[in-house]
């Protein structure tokens, strides 16, 4: 058979991975601390956007709640990596075994992913029976619930005060590896039979059910996979700044990550990744302009606040002219020789 | 040998009685026609048989076992497949993926599903369409894809909701031959809903006529052709007064 869609789609994660590597190399070459931190932040956003895409892109159900899983992961990092003595002060209610636990950041990221996946399974078992706007509102309620619990259960979360002392990881490489891992996971999910069945159910639910697809179950699988990716991202986010509060993982992060997904195009994995790269670069560029650029002898600076306004305007313009996002439903692939098929449907085509 | 039956099925939609006490049986290898004017309740009966609509009264049985309460995907996994009035293909997916969805929906790996989908496209006679995006296909090809998608996993029963709508006589004849092969070569029990009465008369072993949710006549094609009651039911709908004139060769 001439047709091997699975192998052909391998180009997508490879190309996306190479782009991410290029970003890391630039950070390494520039060698400035703030720039390094900017690139780390981009990699974290890639992880979040890919996590969102796994569920939203494939199911068509908008979730406002996924940052809750990042919160779960972030606090796992706090619980498992802060020095026991410091934990005793800020979070005295932790059980003794957890108080004594001190694991490396990468292990915390793995545990954070697992912990978030468990909760995605629990929440998802209820939520995945809902559809459309009801499901979206319910995911938002989940975010509010998690935020509220973490803001009030002070003996294990220090409530709304900052939990400090999370070992900071300043090298870009671990974040690069995690971002590539997220892309590969997202791709593998997308080409799996579960991904295919879920996209079919997204486009034509009645026909999918008549084809034997158990729609709530397919959604649940995507929800758990995406929850795990968000949990990993949340833990690494905590390690990138060394400090967490419940509001670190709330509306602000929800809004920016969803915007990146929508601008990039939630119909494709490439859209998720490129949306992050595009909007992050734009934000960074505007920040530099606000801070002031030396032109000859005078300094040119945008007035404060222009960054938010310009960002909003650019997003609106893009969505006006490309409602399906920058990538539409297309994936980044190598130009195909001798094929007349316009690949338009998710990562397998 | 398998048997799918509706047993005194009634469905009421907020006061409107879409079906009242309908009995119908399809056996393996048999082609049963279900005809009746617009709004007679034909699609509603298919929805009940496939788990999309709960019966208000009565039951659906597969080899004597009740199917009530099963969700559509569960009904499909028991070997009862259907198509829809108007196709409902996965429009953005290539044809082969449309078939593949049923394979994976039934629990196959993608690889196994692709292999079966390729064989099925061949069997239905649309192998050259494999990589076309489903949403770009003409009408008649869409119907064949829908049938191929339904046949994945070799269902014991296939319920076709107006597969010939909008087809020319030539295309209808080709479809007719395909349906006959489905019954004869695959041993599938077929329930055929069709407004093209000529096609139904030429193809079916047994015909059930619905009007306003009730069975007004059942029997072999010859008996249906000569029935006064059937002729009368069709008089009401101007578009369908061409009853049995259109003959389709077997
Ligand atoms: N979900 C529903 N809610 C309310 N009424 C419905 C619903 N589905 C069908 N009906 C009504 O039930 C009756 C039977 O409809 P049905 O679609 O089964 O007819 P049909 O025989 O398939 O007609 P057609 O030949 O036009 O496809 C119609 O009066 C229709 O308006
Ligand atoms: Mg109908």
Confidence tier at A108 by pLDDT (50, 70, 90): very high
Check residue B229 and give its pLDDT. Answer: 83
Does residue B54 line the site of ligand 1, with CB under 6 A? no
Check residue A5 and give its pLDDT. Answer: 58
Distance CA A272, CA A258 (A): 9
The stretch B89-118 carries a mean pLDDT of: 96
Q: pTM for the whole thing?
A: 0.91
Question: Domain residues of chain A, as ranges?
Answer: 5-250
Angstroms from A96 CA to nearest CA on chain B: 45
Q: Which residues surround ligand 2, an ion (CB under 5 A)?
A: B 43, 85
The lowest-confidence range among A47-56, A101-110, A315-324, B109-118 is A315-324
CA quadruple A190, A194, A196, A197: dihedral sign: negative
The stretch B78-95 carries a mean pLDDT of: 94
Phi, psi of B205, deg, nearest 5: -85, -30
Confidence tier at A124 by pLDDT (50, 70, 90): very high
Q: Which two tokens stand for residue A40?
A: 């780390």
Give the CA radius of gyration of chain B: 18
Q: Which of B54, B97, B95, B50 is closest to B76 using CA atoms?
A: B50
Distance CA A197, CA B96 (A): 13
Instruction: Tell me the C-alpha to C-alpha distance, in Å, between residue B199 and each of A93, A169, A305, B157, B192.
Output: 76, 73, 71, 20, 10
Question: Domain residues of chain B, as ranges?
Answer: 3-88+142-235
Distance CA A259, CA A211 (A): 34
The lowest-confidence range among A134-148, A289-303, B99-113 is A289-303
The stretch A65-88 carries a mean pLDDT of: 96
Check residue A7 and give its pLDDT. Answer: 67
Q: Which two tokens stand for residue B205?
A: 């072993």
Q: What is the DSSP letter of B207?
A: E
Interface pTM, i.e. ipTM: 0.91
CATH fourth-level superfamily of B3-88+142-235:
P-loop containing nucleotide triphosphate hydrolases (3.40.50.300)
Check residue B249 and give its pLDDT. Answer: 42
pLDDT at A301 over 90: no
Angstroms from A217 CA to nearest CA on chain B: 11
The stretch B211-240 carries a mean pLDDT of: 80
The stretch B180-186 carries a mean pLDDT of: 97
Instruction: Report yes or no: A213 at the B interface, CB cutoff 8 Å.
Output: yes
pLDDT at A85 over 70: yes
**Which string of DSSP letters, residue by residue, matches A161-185?**
S-EE-PPP---HHHHHHHHHHHHHH
Q: What is the mean pLDDT of chain A?
A: 91
Q: What is the mean pLDDT of chain B?
A: 91
Instruction: Tell me the C-alpha to C-alpha distance, in Å, between residue A70 and each of A109, A177, A280.
Output: 11, 18, 19
* Sheet arrangement for strand B16-27: B16-27, B3-13, B57-62, B65-66
Q: Do A341 and B131 touch (CB under 8 A)?
A: yes
Q: Do A207 and B96 touch (CB under 8 A)?
A: no
Dihedral angle, C-alpha A310, A315, A318, A324, nearest 10 °: 170
Check residue A6 and give its pLDDT. Answer: 64
Check residue A9 and give its pLDDT. Answer: 87
- Of residues A287 and A184, the one with the higher pLDDT is A184
Confidence tier at A290 by pLDDT (50, 70, 90): confident
Q: Which two tokens stand for residue A194?
A: 């579960």
Distance CA A233, CA A171 (A): 16
């Amino acid at each position: 058979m001439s047709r091997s869609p699975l192998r052909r789609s391998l180009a997508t994660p490879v190309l996306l991975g190479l782009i991410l590597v290029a970003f890391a190399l630039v950070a390494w070459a520039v060698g400035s601390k703030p720039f390094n931190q900017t690139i780390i932040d981009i990699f974290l956003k890639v992880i979040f956007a890919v996590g969102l895409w796994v569920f939203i892109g494939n199911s068509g159900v908008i979730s406002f709640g996924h940052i809750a899983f990042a919160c779960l992961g972030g606090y796992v990092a706090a619980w498992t990596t802060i020095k026991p003595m410091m934990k005793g002060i800020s979070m005295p209610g932790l059980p003794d075994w957890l108080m004594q636990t001190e694991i490396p950041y990468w292990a915390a990221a793995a545990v954070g992913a697992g912990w978030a996946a468990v909760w995605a399974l629990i929440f998802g078992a209820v939520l995945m029976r809902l559809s459309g706007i009801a499901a979206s509102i319910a995911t938002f309620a989940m975010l509010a619930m998690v935020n509220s619990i973490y803001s009030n259960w002070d003996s294990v979360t220090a409530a709304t005060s900052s939990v400090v002392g999370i070992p900071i990881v300043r090298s870009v490489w671990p974040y690069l590896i995690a971002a590539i891992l997220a892309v590969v996971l997202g791709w593998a999910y997308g080409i799996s039979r579960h991904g295919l069945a879920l996209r079919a159910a997204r486009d034509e639910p009645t026909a999918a059910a008549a084809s034997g697809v158990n729609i709530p179950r397919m959604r649940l699988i995507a929800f758990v996979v995406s929850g795990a990716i968000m949990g990993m991202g949340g833990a690494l986010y905590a390690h990138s700044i060394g400090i967490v509060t419940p509001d670190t993982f709330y509306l602000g992060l929800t809004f920016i990550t969803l915007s990146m997904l929508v601008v990039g195009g939630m119909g494709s994995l490439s859209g998720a990744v490129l949306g992050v790269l595009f909007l992050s670069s734009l934000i960074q560029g505007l920040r530099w302009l606000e801070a002031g650029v030396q032109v000859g002898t005078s300094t040119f600076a945008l007035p404060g606040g222009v960054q938010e306004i310009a960002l909003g305007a650019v997003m609106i313009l893009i969505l006006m002219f490309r409602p399906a996002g920058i990538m539409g439903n297309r994936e980044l692939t190598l130009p195909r020789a001798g094929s007349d098929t316009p690949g338009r449907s998710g990562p397998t085509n | 040998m398998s048997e799918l039956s509706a047993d005194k099925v009634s469905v009421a939609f907020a006061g409107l009685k879409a079906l009242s006490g309908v009995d119908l049986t399809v056996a393996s290898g048999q082609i049963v026609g279900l005809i009746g004017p617009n709004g007679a309740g034909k699609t509603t009966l298919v929805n009940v048989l496939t788990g999309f609509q709960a019966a208000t009264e009565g039951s659906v049985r597969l080899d004597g076992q009740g199917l009530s309460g099963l969700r559509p995907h569960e009904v499909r996994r028991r070997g009862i497949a259907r198509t829809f009035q108007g196709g409902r293909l996965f429009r953005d997916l290539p044809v082969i993926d449309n078939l593949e969805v049923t394979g994976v929906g039934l629990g196959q790996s993608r690889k196994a599903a692709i292999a079966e989908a390729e064989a099925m496209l061949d069997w239905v006679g649309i192998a050259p369409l494999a990589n076309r995006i489903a949403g770009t296909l003409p009408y008649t090809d869409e119907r064949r894809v829908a049938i191929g998608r339904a046949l994945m996993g070799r269902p014991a029963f296939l319920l076709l909701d107006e597969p010939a709508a909008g087809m020319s006589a030539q295309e209808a004849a080709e479809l007719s031959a395909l349906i006959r092969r489905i019954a004869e070569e695959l041993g599938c029990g077929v329930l055929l809903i069709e407004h093209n009465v000529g096609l139904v008369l030429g193809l079916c072993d047994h015909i059930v006529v619905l009007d306003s949710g009730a069975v007004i006549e059942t029997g072999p094609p010859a008996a249906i052709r000569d029935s006064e009651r059937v002729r009368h039911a069709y008089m009401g709908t101007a578009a369908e007064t061409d009853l049995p004139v259109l003959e389709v060769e077997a």
